[in-house]
Amino acid sequence: MSKLTLTTEGDRYIVVTRRFAASPEAVYRAHTEPALIQKWLLGPEGWSMPVCINEARPGGKIRYEWSNGKFGFHLTGEYLELVPYSRIVHVERMFLPDPTPDNHVETTFAPDGGGTLMTMRMTLPDTQTRAAMLSTGMEGGMEASYVRLEAMI
Amino acid sequence: MEALDAAFAALADPTRRALLARLAQGEATVMQLAKPFNMTQPAISQHLKVLETAGLIDVRVDGTKRPRRLQKSGVDAMEQWLAMLRTALEKNYDRLDNVLAAMEPQKGRKKR
């Protein structure tokens, strides 16, 4: 039913795949152009991204700031490698509020029929980082699930 | 929260995942568990200890035997954590579907 797959690869990586009904060029642009990123990279319902800096070139900086009106946190990163419309490699860390260890992320966009298969391979966060991420996302995540559940009943 | 985190750490190891898969079929002693893994009993015991600390398995006392078995609530909590991560990602990508649908097809863009 779900188009998304999420698996662990060994004890070091998480691999996520997702298909999109758009060209690799469009999906790539939606990952690198701030005006587009701000429309979808928001996590649970109720969050927005008032600040989005994305310098899509090797060595370019990334800075995303999220807010739900009451709380906020941010992420910084740097691009290591960009192959237009097919591959992005970057590192990022969240500030919760202390910086988490660098997360190394490799994202590829491959033509798939008339659409795109995206594969994202990221570092499995360490124990402490997972705990911090969990405490940040939990309340909102659960809430979004309940809203959807209500809509189904 | 801490229990979920410990459970995720415990499951990051392939041997421990295999041990859990075996225990999902029914309880087993350390000796029974060690057999198919080509590992020493102390090594297996070490992995079992991690799983036990994470609340994924527990020990039943049966005379002189100490069979290990799945602790259902621990496994459920782990599934809940993964489901939560998946929920956040699905939410993002469902929104991205809409963003992509609204984008103009880009043709004849500048070439480098």
The average pLDDT across A113-139 equals 72
Q: Does A105 touch chain B (CB under 8 A)?
A: no
CB A105 within 8 A of CB A49: no
The average pLDDT across A9-19 equals 84
Which secondary structure element, helix H or strand E, spans residue A9, and what is its range? Answer: strand A5-9
Q: Does A127 touch chain B (CB under 8 A)?
A: yes
A48: pLDDT confidence band, cut at 50, 70 and 90?
Answer: very high
Q: List, for residues B49-70, the tens digit of each pLDDT value.
A: 998 988 889 999 989 999 999 8
Length of chain B: 112
ipTM over 0.85: no
pTM of model > 0.80? no
Instruction: Kindly determine whether residue A138 and residue B84, on different chains, have CB atoms separated by under 8 Å.
Output: yes
Domain contains B39: yes
- Which residues from chain A sit within 8 angstroms of residue B93, using beta carbons? 3-4, 18, 20, 40
B87: pLDDT confidence band, cut at 50, 70 and 90?
Answer: confident
The average pLDDT across A70-88 equals 93
pLDDT higher at B3 or A50? A50
**Which of A20, A48, A146 to mutate to test binding with chain B, by most B CBs within 10 Å of its CB?**
A20
- The separation between the first and the last C-alpha atoms of chain A, rounded to the nearest angstrom, is 19
DSSP bridge partners of A40: none
CB A120 within 8 A of CB A9: no
Q: What is the pLDDT of residue A117?
A: 97
Q: What is the pLDDT of residue A147?
A: 41
- Pick from B9, B99, B106: CB nearest A39: B99
A123: pLDDT confidence band, cut at 50, 70 and 90?
Answer: confident
pLDDT above 90: residue B21: no
- Which residues from chain B sit within 8 angstroms of residue A68, using beta carbons? none
B78: domain CATH number? 1.10.10.10
Q: Please name the residues in contact with B48: beta carbons below 8 A apart, sequence gap of 6 or more.
A: B19, B30, B33, B57, B68
pLDDT higher at A40 or B6? A40
Q: Does A4 touch chain B (CB under 8 A)?
A: yes
Q: What domains sit in chain A, N to C, each tagged with a CATH number?
A: 5-152 (3.30.530.20)
How many of the other CB atoms lie within 10 Å of CB of B50?
18
With a CB-CB cutoff of 8 Å, which residues 45-64 of chain A face chain B?
A: 45
Which secondary structure element, helix H or strand E, spans residue B32, and what is its range? Answer: helix B30-34
Lowest mean pLDDT among A51-65, B33-47, B67-81: B67-81
Lowest mean pLDDT among A88-92, A97-101, B72-76: B72-76
Provide the strand spans (E) within A13-125: 13-20, 48-54, 61-67, 72-83, 87-95, 103-112, 115-123
A140: pLDDT confidence band, cut at 50, 70 and 90?
Answer: very low
| The 3-state secondary structure of B38-95, one letter per residue | CCCHHHHHHHHHHHHHCCCEEECCECCECCEEECHHHHHHHHHHHHHHHHHHHHHHHH
Locate the chain A residue with the closest alpha carbon to B80.
Answer: A142
pLDDT above 90: residue A108: yes
The average pLDDT across A27-36 equals 97
A145: pLDDT confidence band, cut at 50, 70 and 90?
Answer: very low
Domain contains B110: no
B98: pLDDT confidence band, cut at 50, 70 and 90?
Answer: very high
Instruction: Kindly determine whether residue B84 and residue A141, on different chains, have CB atoms separated by under 8 Å.
Output: yes
Q: Which domain holds residue B62?
A: 2-101
Q: Please, what is the average pLDDT of chain A?
A: 83
Q: What is the pLDDT of residue B106?
A: 54
- Pick from A22, A134, A145: CB nearest B87: A145
Instruction: Kindly determine whether residue B92 and residue A130, on different chains, have CB atoms separated by under 8 Å.
Output: no
Q: What is the pLDDT of residue A11?
A: 63
Q: How far is residue A115's CA from residue B23's CA, in Å, rounded to a whole number?
A: 41
A135: pLDDT confidence band, cut at 50, 70 and 90?
Answer: low
User: Residues of B at the A interface (Cβ-Cβ below 8 Å)?
Assistant: 1-2, 4-6, 8-9, 11-14, 81-82, 84-93, 95-101, 103, 105-106, 109
Among B8, B81, B83, B80, CA closest to B50: B8
What are the structure tokens assigned to A15, written together?
A: 């691999």
- Which residues from chain B sit within 8 angstroms of residue A137, using beta carbons? 84-85, 88
- Pick from A6, A25, A135: CB nearest B85: A6
How many domains in chain B?
1
